[in-house]
Amino acid sequence: MIQLIKGFRDILPDEAGLWRQVEMMAADIFSGFGFLEMRPPVMEKADLFKRSIGEHTDIVEKEMYTFADRGGDVVTLRPEATASVVRAYIQHKLYNTAGVQKFYTIGPMFRRERPQKGRYRQFHQVNAEVFGTASPYMDVQLVFMLTTFFDALALKNLTVHINSLGCSECRPLFRERLCSFLEENRLNLCNDCKRRIDRNPLRVLDCKVDTCRQATKDAPAITDFLCSDCAGHFEQVTGLLTELGVGFELDRRLVRGLDYYTRTTFEVRTDMLGAQSAVAGGGRYDNLVKMLGGPDVPAVGFAVGFERLMELVELAGSVPCGTERPRVFMAALGEKARSIAFKWLCELNREGVPAEMCMEERGLKSQMKQADKWNATHVAIVGDAEIESGNIILRNMNTKQQEELPLDKMPECLGRAISRL
């Protein structure tokens, strides 16, 4: 039997209902903050991700699903959505519309990482991206929207980690000082980090290996190198978060795994999911639009990882998964009864009431078993005797109560009875 690909997973019906509800909550809350939905494709030219995420990042070096298609174009299954949204923003000249532009997008991403709990090769994100303002108010509003979403899901034990990565003015000096520090401590670093010193030294700061963490305990902090504009911006961000009552932790090690970030960066982490603790991450990327060939437009955004989010939602048990809706099973005995029941079934379904029946000839016992398996909340029984008497029997499967309903007032009577019981 052909099995699914390692690191990919099926979202089966018992999970999918809850996923859809949480996706709808995200869409609802984000729309309330003025975000419009965008649906970019899942595949793009490989160069888009190389140029935006950065040649020397783990994602580009090791994790992308990149291949030449049958026409010879080198394409990549998107490892993230930000680059695609920026590409669409430039390609369709969305910057011509006045004011700040806000987009959200929901969908699958692909990274060929080592699969483990909370880390998949196909995973899902909901992204929010804002174009056209460098204001710290926008950074804060985004974090506020994110925590509003998590609060609506009643999630606990989440911490917002926040840092500033400065800009092209102040980061080079920090990078230089960091590199000298890392060179002095080279012997204590893991092999990956030794390589990172030349290619992507900032990433050494968030290496999870104990010896590296120990060795970089006294490494220079970017926040000590910020130019006055970046320092002022960051001060405003943290000040406004405090005023709004959004709790956060300053985290000078937070560097993120994508190269496009400038200034504010943040992650929301939990201690409830083991090693894969980041539920959401984002920040400013003020140079990316220009770097990809667009105008000089500042931007900021974030992405929430749905697999990790859904684990937290299940632990919190705060979102009803919709199974408490009435589910009506029609138990029909005889051909005439079945054709009557079938008409009601179609009408109930059209009204949005989940209803089922046994389409083959079966005895009452077997039909009741089927109703039970399907978790019916109500069973409507109709046979020759009921047709004769003009009343059908409706059985509430939870309370075991039965009532008679007039056959000639169906299915309205049935609809009313199931909402009442």
Binding site for ligand HAM (CB under 6 A): 80, 82, 111, 113, 119-120, 123, 125, 127, 129, 257-258, 278-283, 301-303, 305, 307-308
Q: Pick the closer one to ligand HAM by CB: 82 or 377.
A: 82
Closest approach, Cβ 378 to ligand HAM, in A, equals 40
Q: Pick the closer one to ligand HAM by CB: 280 or 358.
A: 280
Q: Pick the closer one to ligand HAM by CB: 44 or 80.
A: 80
Closest approach, Cβ 391 to ligand HAM, in A, equals 55
Q: Pick the closer one to ligand HAM by CB: 266 or 344.
A: 266
Q: Pick the closer one to ligand HAM by CB: 160 or 345.
A: 160
Residue nearest to ligand HAM (CB): 305
Closest approach, Cβ 224 to ligand HAM, in A, equals 24
Q: Pick the closer one to ligand HAM by CB: 254 or 328.
A: 254
Closest approach, Cβ 82 to ligand HAM, in A, equals 4
Closest approach, Cβ 134 to ligand HAM, in A, equals 15
Closest approach, Cβ 280 to ligand HAM, in A, equals 5
Q: Pick the closer one to ligand HAM by CB: 6 or 336.
A: 6
Q: Pick the closer one to ligand HAM by CB: 29 or 278.
A: 278
Distance CA 258, CA 253 (A): 14
Q: Pick the closer one to ligand HAM by CB: 162 or 279.
A: 279
Tokens of 364: 């009452």
Distance CA 421, CA 401 (A): 9
What secondary structure, in 3-state letters, does the chain show? CCCCCCCCCCCCHHHHHHHHHHHHHHHHHHHHCCCEECCCCCEEEHHHHHHHHCCCCHHHHHHCEEEECCCCCEEEECCCCHHHHHHHHHHCCHHHCCCCEEEEEEEEEECCCCCECCECCEEEEEEEEEECCCCHHHHHHHHHHHHHHHHHCCCCCEEEEEEECCCCCCHHHHHHHHHHHHHHCHHHCCHHHHHHHHHCHHHHHHCCCHHHHHHCCCCCCHHHCCCHHHHHHHHHHHHHHHHHCCCCEECCCCCCCCCCCEEEEEEEEECCCCCCCEEEEEEECCCHHHHCCCCCCCEEEEEEEHHHHHHHHHHHCCCCCCCCCCCEEEEECCHHHHHHHHHHHHHHHHCCCCEEECCCCCCHHHHHHHHHHCCCCEEEEECHHHHHHCEEEEEECCCCCEEEEEHHHCCHHHHHHHHHC
Closest approach, Cβ 121 to ligand HAM, in A, equals 7
Distance CA 388, CA 406 (A): 11
Tokens of 90: 């430039």
Q: Pick the closer one to ligand HAM by CB: 303 or 341.
A: 303
Closest approach, Cβ 284 to ligand HAM, in A, equals 8
Convert 27-50 to b/e letters by CB count within 10 Å (16 or more is b): eebbeebebeebebeebbebebbb
Distance CA 267, CA 338 (A): 57
Closest approach, Cβ 109 to ligand HAM, in A, equals 7
Q: Pick the closer one to ligand HAM by CB: 303 or 405.
A: 303
Closest approach, Cβ 59 to ligand HAM, in A, equals 7
Closest approach, Cβ 125 to ligand HAM, in A, equals 5
Distance CA 405, CA 421 (A): 13
Task: Report which of 329, 388, 403 is spatially closest to residue 359, judged by C-alpha positions.
Answer: 329
